[in-house]
């Protein structure tokens, strides 16, 4: 009998399908992992201007989903996505403790694409206080890294490394900071730090890539690798290859958005 390893995502639903739990499930599937969801909110988009509207799911309903999955089935790894409130962050922290969850991946979703301000400040503060020290790895972008560390800016490689060190010292066991397209120059560089060594992962910025859902996909790929028993370093390296392929083969959805291609890594392999 083919028994798949299991992963949980505690995340929102992106109705447009590219980010959130849709990205997580597609990524889990591609990497051979059985995915389960505890849905935190439903995000819809207004067709005329693609404004995002967040519809929260009641805390009791999130709790019931976690009860179903963790008391009823069990998981090999888990990740978080959009949490949206301090109460929800607290529930996630308590859940990690209560079930002694392993392979915990925190994607500290705080900002929307292109924005530099934090969406829900008290939720972001709760992530900083409660989730950084409970995770096996945290995957902030540069804006989220600046928020977590209190640094004025995180833009250069040296600043990214400094931020990674600070976040590690706050209790995260591993840190990957996504330099991404926000960085100056021709390369998007991610930095992985495990408390001992820095590993820089650079790819040439792609001229025409649609990156909606890229952060969710990346952290989901790390989660899937951990669920399958990879070491942290191997899971991060595989995730980098997965998201690079997904970006290279990304495609347009409409005049506002385009999605990463979750099928690309399995179809075309590492390029």
CB of 112 to ligand PXL, least distance (A): 6
CB of 100 to ligand PXL, least distance (A): 26
* Residue 35 binding ligand PXL, by CB under 6 A: no
Residue of 143, 216, 221, 264 interacting with ligand PXL (CB under 6 A): 216
Identity of the residue, 73 or 112, whose beta carbon is nearer to ligand PXL in the bound complex:
112
* Residue 20 binding ligand PXL, by CB under 6 A: yes
* Residue 180 binding ligand PXL, by CB under 6 A: no
CB of 22 to ligand PXL, least distance (A): 8
Contact segment (CB under 6 A) with ligand PXL among 123-131, 188-196, 210-218, 219-227 equals 210-218
CB of 55 to ligand PXL, least distance (A): 10
* Residue 83 binding ligand PXL, by CB under 6 A: no
* Residue 225 binding ligand PXL, by CB under 6 A: no
In three state form, how does the secondary structure of the chain look?
CCCCCEEEEEEEEECCCCCHHHHHHHHHHHCCCEEEEEEEEEEEECCCCCCEEEEECCHHHHHHHHHHHHHHCCCCEEEECCCCCHHHHHHHHHHHHHCCCCCEEECCCCCCCCCCCCCCHHHHHHHHHHHHHHCCEECCEHHHHHHHHCCCCCCCHHHHHHHHHHHHHCCCCCEEEECHHHCCCCEEEEEEECCCCEEEEEEECCCCCCCECHHHHHHHHHHHHHHCCCCHHHHHHHHHHHHHHHHHCCEECCCCCEECCCCHHHHHCCC
* Residue 189 backbone phi and psi in degrees, to 5: -120, 130
Identity of the residue, 6 or 79, whose beta carbon is nearer to ligand PXL in the bound complex:
79
The distance from CA 193 to its chain's CA centroid, rounded to whole angstroms, is: 16
CA distances in angstroms from 245 to 16, 58, 93, 210, listed in the order given? 20, 36, 33, 12
CB of 69 to ligand PXL, least distance (A): 18
Site track 150-169 with ligand PXL (rule: CB under 6 A), x = hit: --------------------
* Residue 109 binding ligand PXL, by CB under 6 A: yes
In the numeric block, which tokens belong to residue 239?
């995730």
* Residue 81 binding ligand PXL, by CB under 6 A: yes
Binding residues for ligand PXL restricted to 45-64, rule: CB under 6 A? 52
* Residue 258 binding ligand PXL, by CB under 6 A: no
CB of 12 to ligand PXL, least distance (A): 3
Residue of 10, 14, 147, 160 interacting with ligand PXL (CB under 6 A): 14
Interface ranges with ligand PXL (CB under 6 A)? 11-14, 19-20, 43, 52, 81-82, 109, 112, 213, 215-216
């Amino acid at each position: 009998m083919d028994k798949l390893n299991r992963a949980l995502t505690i995340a929102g639903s992106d109705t447009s399908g590219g980010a959130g739990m849709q990205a997580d499930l597609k990524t889990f599937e591609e990497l051979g992992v059985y995915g389960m969801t505890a849905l935190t909110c439903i995000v819809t988009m207004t067709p005329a201007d693609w404004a995002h509207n967040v519809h929260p799911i009641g805390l009791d309903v999130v709790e019931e989903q976690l009860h179903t999955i963790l008391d009823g089935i069990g998981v090999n790894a888990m990740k978080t996505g959009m949490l949206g409130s301090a109460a929800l962050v607290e529930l996630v922290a308590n859940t990690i403790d209560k079930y002694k969850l392993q392979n915990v991946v925190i994607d500290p979703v705080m900002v929307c694409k292109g924005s530099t301000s934090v969406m829900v400040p008290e939720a972001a503060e709760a992530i900083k206080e409660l989730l950084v020290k409970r995770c096996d790895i945290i995957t902030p972008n540069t804006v989220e890294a600046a928020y977590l560390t209190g640094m004025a800016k995180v833009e250069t490689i040296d600043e990214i490394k400094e931020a990674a060190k600070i976040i590690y010292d706050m209790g995260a066991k591993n840190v990957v900071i996504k330099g991404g397209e926000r960085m100056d120059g021709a390369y998007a560089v991610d930095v992985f730090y495990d408390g001992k060594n820095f590993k820089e992962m650079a790819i040439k910025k792609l001229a025409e890539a649609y990156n909606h859902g890229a952060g969710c996909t990346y952290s989901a790929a790390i989660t899937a690798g951990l669920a399958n028993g990879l070491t942290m370093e191997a899971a991060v390296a595989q995730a980098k290859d997965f998201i690079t392929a997904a970006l290279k083969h990304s495609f347009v959805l409409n005049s506002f958005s385009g999605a990463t291609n979750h099928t690309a890594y399995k179809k075309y392999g590492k390029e």
